[in-house]
Structure 1
Amino acid sequence: MAGFIIRRATAADCEEICQLFQKQVSSGNKQTSPSPETLKKDGLGKLFHILVAEDEKCAAKQLIGYLFFHFTFSSYKGKSILLTDIYISPEFNKKSVATELFVHLCKIASEEDCARLEWAVREYDNERNEFVAISNATNIMKMESKRTISIDTDSLLESMAEFITRRATAADCEEICQLFQKQVSSGNKQTSPSPETLKKDGLGRLFHILIAEDQKGASKQLIGYLFFHFAFSSWEGKSIFLIDVYISPEYSKKSVAKELFIHLCKVANEERCGFLEWKVRENENEKNEFAAISNATNFMKEEGRYKFHLSKEKIMTF
């Protein structure tokens, strides 16, 4: 890599990263940008991570680009990475800086034993489209008919009758995995993580689970779950991604999914999140219902965004 190095950002880089944000605001590519204090407060190195490209030829070793990402968890595949933003200073955009940032990210994904690496891209996002070309990534919008949905985090208030929704704890992992097994048995999942994997890969840290619990039975069994994780947008700050939702079929008509979603909206409000986002296939009734009741924006339709997915096998080629 002639002339620059790639490394993890630290708190000391936040001022300079925000200067790169301001370049984009000035050029009209961003409307607003977080402050250095926001980057530090909202969890650099915890909630999200940044790779930076640093010019080595300059005496001051200035930053010439960044890549934002965070770890997440798939109830289908396990630990994963979501690439959320990338920027290269225009004067360096022909020097393979973006490619080297991406290769570095793939190495992190391999080291962390991540099952996949995913990112959203618009038609005109040159760097992210380049990643697709060099990695043979799968366009999951095209291959799996998924849409990405985003809403502003307004809470929706409605009472719950025969069940409650709450945050899951480690003690719930066995029962959550029983719900996974229901889906494996019905053919809706190919595999499912073990309770140990849920605990090891960061329940309450890397990802969070809301559960619905039947209050009528003496045993108070779990009847559904919703997986989500916090993320960070260099446009709007702290945010939430809804990853997976499942309701036991016998409860599918009792507004359980809706109440889990309402609970998630309340979490988003309490955490002062800028937006809440999720992907949905045409046949995913619950997630489509969320779009209907919340007046959410369909990013595929409104903004021409596509989601790309890099499997573990493809990641390991870098």
Structure 2
Amino acid sequence: MSIIVREALQTDCQGIMDLIMGLAVYEKMEDKVKMKLETLQEDGFGNEKYFKCFVADRQENGASKLIGYALYYFTYSTWEGKCIYMEDFYVSPEYRGKGVGSRLMGSVCKIAVEKKCARVQFSVLGGNKPSIDFYKRRGAIDMTEVEDWHLFRLTGSALEKLAANSNTV
């Protein structure tokens, strides 16, 4: 058996969807997943690409199976310049503790270094102690603890209401 970390291909989307559901189950939020396979394919591999992704691909006896992924996109800080936001990071439970997560996260960090990004940023559920410990062991800083930053979100009617009040043409 070998495990290869590589850039995702459009043909990986079903495997990525399976991993997205694995992450949602792990976080006890499977009812929150609204993503459809076609949307993932279009948004990541269509004419306008909204994300990039690395996958961990287990290869054994000629068979291939995705066992982890790190999905990210570029953002911008007016204080520091280019950044990466890692939206999702997940390794199937039976492959944790084997270096797969470090390789996936390292691949995202390598892109950040190559592109001269100021940082890689991500969110973690407060109760997800194993993941928080994993990130802290790798030098990540909990911005809520250190600088009291809080994550906010606009959705649904609040999003639509503010969009309707826009003065842009």
Structure 2 distance, partners of 1:305, 1:216, is: 44
Structure 1 distance, partners of 2:16, 2:24, is: 13
- Give the aligned partner of residue 119 of structure 2: 275
Give the TM-score normalised by the residue count of structure 2: 0.81
Give the CA deviation at 1:306.
1.4
Contact 1:232 1:238 in 2 (8 A): yes
> Cα 1:183–1:241, aligned 2, differ >3 Å: closer, same or farther?
closer
Give the CA deviation at 1:220.
1.6
More helix by share: 2
Which of 276, 294, 301 lines up with 2:145 in the alignment?
301
Does 1:170 find its partner at 2:14? no
> Cα 1:262–1:299, aligned 2, differ >3 Å: closer, same or farther?
same
**Stretches of 4+ aligned residues off by more than 3 angstroms:** 181-188
Which of 101, 107, 111 lines up with 1:257 in the alignment?
101
Structure 2 distance, partners of 1:179, 1:217, is: 22
Structure 2 distance, partners of 1:210, 1:251, is: 16
1:175 alignment partner AA:
G
Equivalent residues in 2 for 1:45-60 (5 A)? none
Contact 1:228 1:244 in 2 (8 A): yes
User: Which structure 2 segments of 5+ residues have no match?
Assistant: 163-169
Secondary structure in structure 2 of the residue aligned to 1:206? coil
Equivalent residues in 2 for 1:1-318 (5 A)? 162-183=2-23, 187-190=28-31, 191-203=33-45, 205-284=49-128, 285-293=130-138, 295-318=139-162
Over the residues paired in the alignment, what is the CA RMSD in angstroms? Answer: 2.2
Asked which structure has the greater CA Rg, the reply is 1
User: Which structure 1 segments of 5+ residues have no match?
Assistant: 1-160
Secondary structure in structure 2 of the residue aligned to 1:307? coil
Contact 2:55 2:104 in 1 (8 A): yes
Cα-to-partner distance string for 1:257-291 (whole Å, 9 max, x where unaligned): 12111111111111111111111123333354122
More strand by share: 1
Cα-to-partner distance string for 1:72-115 (whole Å, 9 max, x where unaligned): xxxxxxxxxxxxxxxxxxxxxxxxxxxxxxxxxxxxxxxxxxxx
2:12 alignment partner AA:
D
Percent identity of equivalent pairs:
29
Higher relative contact order (CA 8 A, sep 6+): 1
**Aligned length in residues:** 157
Give the CA deviation at 1:211.
0.5
